[in-house]
Chain A
């Protein structure tokens, strides 16, 4: 669906993308348009609970750790037989790679070209909406700034509210109370929380240095079910910070959803038992 002028201007290097990689918590039946196929897939899982079933019931079928191991095994055997949703190819080919951005050695996955392709952009949103509609998700949290592009259309389509997770000092507060620094040691890491009345913060590590993410406290209620959205997962540090912020105020993060996963950076492992869904996995 790319027009000639687009290709001539933009970087045409082939995107090194492996076959679409679905997270352990999904199965090819998720993408099948026919509900009957979905049910058949669940029935033939030799008695094991399908990951989709777990998602639907919202209760882990098994002990969380065992569940993850079994799901990974299940996925490995299913992978060969997986049918790729036909929309994935168009989405994948609409993403361009910019080498050496923001620094040498990094192959930057640029989704702005996906946004220039109305069909690919619509398909991207549709794939997420089809997965999350009717799952009682009341919050879509999007991470600044590219999460702001994908999150709101998903939120609008599934009837959820949209909560922006922002860089420091962007979210307005009625009064800046004196900062209260609370530190707590988790293993080798000392986390520092900056407590103020309306905004809570989470400090997290990046490849080089640290960053801080903020959320309005009153935006979500305890017990709400949330989806976290960003364009890409790399090391998983940013997504972990978002999940922690939401969990600190009593929200259940059902899943994290990204367009792209950079497999070699092992973000999925960083998320441990937190569910992750991606459309494209890039090596």
Chain B
């Protein structure tokens, strides 16, 4: 579900967050309009508002785990975890985590990839939030949900800054709720060529 249609109608922060995101055409390959959140990170107020919106939503939901998907999920997840008093769990590409891990593979457009989590990081019954910068097909987030559920955690919600059209109208992913702040920006000359807001 989109924040602007659920509780944050007309919130000016959402507009500013959307405008802080830069569109890069044909990256990483032709036809893809890449939603670049690095410009959001350069705008202190918009970045802070992004974190604050998530914190306001999750602080009273008794969430003890925030799981962030490598690598852009690492840029949002820890700040949310710190503010709501939860632990932060990095979900990483293979062979990055040093200890004992469990793995979950997922399908890409061409081929498969794999997400890993440390064994013992999450206890059964813990309530978890999954965070990433963007959800497209939902493949990565679905793998994250499966990892957490395999160790007995309850995934309360998946949260993303941006949600692509594939997930528009979908309120759930793998049966778990999905919460999105903004839709992708369209390509305009302003969004492409402005480096910083």
CA A5 to CA B87, docked complex, whole Å: 15
Would you call A149 and B48 a contact (CB within 8 A)?
no
Query: In residues 222-281 of chain A, which contact B (Cβ within 8 Å)?
Result: none
Would you call B88 and A149 a contact (CB within 8 A)?
yes
B192 to chain A, nearest CB (A): 6
B62 to chain A, nearest CB (A): 14
Q: Which one of B26, B34, B44, B85 contacts A160 once the chains associate, using CB atoms below 8 Å?
A: B44
* B19 sits at the interface (CB 8 A): no
CA A47 to CA B66, docked complex, whole Å: 50
Would you call B42 and A164 a contact (CB within 8 A)?
no
* B107 sits at the interface (CB 8 A): no
Would you call A153 and B123 a contact (CB within 8 A)?
no
Q: Which residues of A contact B89 (CB under 8 A)?
A: 112, 115-116
CA A98 to CA B90, docked complex, whole Å: 17
* A128 sits at the interface (CB 8 A): no
B72 to chain A, nearest CB (A): 8
Q: Which one of A6, A164, A173 contacts B41 once the chains associate, using CB atoms below 8 Å?
A: A164
In the complex with contacts A10-B99, A108-B98, A161-B42, A5-B123 CB distance below 8 A? yes
A9 to chain B, nearest CB (A): 3
* B149 sits at the interface (CB 8 A): no
Would you call B75 and A162 a contact (CB within 8 A)?
yes
* A148 sits at the interface (CB 8 A): yes
Would you call B38 and A219 a contact (CB within 8 A)?
yes
Q: Which residues of B contact A216 (CB under 8 A)?
A: 38, 195
* A145 sits at the interface (CB 8 A): yes
* A102 sits at the interface (CB 8 A): yes
Q: Please count the residue pairs between chain A and chain B whose beta carbons lie under 8 angstroms apart in the complex.
A: 123
* A172 sits at the interface (CB 8 A): yes
Q: How large is the interface on A (under 10, 10 to 19, 20 to 34, 35 or more residues)?
A: 35 or more
Would you call B38 and A164 a contact (CB within 8 A)?
yes
Q: How large is the interface on B (under 10, 10 to 19, 20 to 34, 35 or more residues)?
A: 35 or more
Would you call B82 and A121 a contact (CB within 8 A)?
yes
CA A170 to CA B195, docked complex, whole Å: 17
* A174 sits at the interface (CB 8 A): yes
Q: Which one of B43, B70, B99 contacts A161 once the chains associate, using CB atoms below 8 Å?
A: B43
B120 to chain A, nearest CB (A): 3
Q: Which residues of B contact A149 (CB under 8 A)?
A: 74, 78, 88, 90
* B119 sits at the interface (CB 8 A): yes
* A101 sits at the interface (CB 8 A): yes
In the complex with contacts A116-B121, A162-B47, A218-B196, A98-B99 CB distance below 8 A? yes
Would you call A118 and B75 a contact (CB within 8 A)?
no
* B71 sits at the interface (CB 8 A): yes
Q: Which residues of B contact A101 (CB under 8 A)?
A: 98
Would you call A152 and B75 a contact (CB within 8 A)?
yes
Would you call A218 and B195 a contact (CB within 8 A)?
yes
* B114 sits at the interface (CB 8 A): no
Would you call A171 and B38 a contact (CB within 8 A)?
yes
Q: Which one of B51, B120, B121, B192 contacts A174 once the chains associate, using CB atoms below 8 Å?
A: B192
Q: Which residues of B contact A145 (CB under 8 A)?
A: 70-71, 74, 90, 92, 96
Would you call B90 and A115 a contact (CB within 8 A)?
yes
In the complex with contacts A174-B24, A174-B27, A118-B81 CB distance below 8 A? yes
A155 to chain B, nearest CB (A): 7
Query: In residues 151-186 of chain A, which contact B (Cβ within 8 Å)?
Result: 152-153, 155-156, 159-164, 166, 169-175
CA A118 to CA B82, docked complex, whole Å: 7
Q: Which one of A96, A122, A219 contacts B82 once the chains associate, using CB atoms below 8 Å?
A: A122
CA A162 to CA B92, docked complex, whole Å: 21
Chain A interfacial positions (CB closer than 8 Å to B): 5-6, 9-11, 96, 98, 101-102, 108, 110, 112, 115-118, 121-122, 125, 144-146, 148-150, 152-153, 155-156, 159-164, 166, 169-175, 216, 218-219
The list of the 9 closest CB pairs from A to B, nearest first, reads A9-B120, A218-B195, A148-B74, A172-B24, A98-B98, A101-B98, A172-B27, A162-B41, A161-B42
CB<8 Å pairs between A and B, sample of 5: A121-B87, A160-B44, A162-B75, A170-B71, A172-B24
Given contacts A11-B99, A112-B89, 13 further A-B contacts (CB under 8 A): A110-B98, A149-B78, A152-B78, A155-B41, A155-B44, A155-B47, A160-B44, A162-B41, A162-B75, A164-B38, A169-B28, A174-B25, A216-B38
